[in-house]
Amino acid sequence: MRPAFLDEFWRLTRFSMVGAVATVIHVVVAMLVISSTGISPTLGSIVGFFAAFTFSYLGHFRFSFAVVGRHRNFLLKFAVGSAVSFCLSTTVVWVCTAILKIHYKPTLIGIGFILPLCSYLINRFWVFFQPRDKSNHPLEMI
């Protein structure tokens, strides 16, 4: 039997892999849509976001957390968690750059480290949390 921290490490690794691929999908789809249709970068980014969202959800559902259940049990929570992450990151960038006058580069770098961790915790302990599996319970990992 493997220690719980090792299971958590590999779960976090899988989560990071899915997130990295989702980021590439977001950027590539956005660029393709913008260059092929001539729509605005904002709209292209929205299309890319939804492509990445779809991949990310399915990747986390099947690969990162490998949960058992129906999509209806997880999809809405994943969408809410993604919306919260999006709003949080947008607000932090705005506060840091517009109000605190911090340069955008360190702000984005900071967000790049903090947001994935917050996203992981939201997904791990709320979206894909299955209480009947004791190995997933936060107190059992201590």
Residue span of the structural domain in which 74 resides:
4-141
Burial class (CB in 10 A: 0-12, 13-18, 19+), 131: exposed
Which pLDDT does position 139 carry in this prediction?
A: 47
Q: Which amino acid is at 12?
A: L
- State the Cα–Cα distance between residues 105 and 64, nearest whole angstrom: 30
Query: What whole-number distance in Å separates Cα of residue 133 and Cα of residue 33?
Result: 42
Predicted pLDDT of residue 117? 87
Please count the structural domains in the chain.
Answer: 1
129 and 11 in contact (C-beta within 8 Å)? no
Cβ atoms of 55 and 82 closer than 8 Å: no
142 residues of the chain, pLDDT tens digit each: 678 889 999 999 999 999 999 999 998 999 999 999 998 888 988 899 999 999 999 999 999 999 988 999 999 999 999 998 888 888 888 898 889 999 888 888 888 778 888 899 999 999 999 876 555 555 444 4
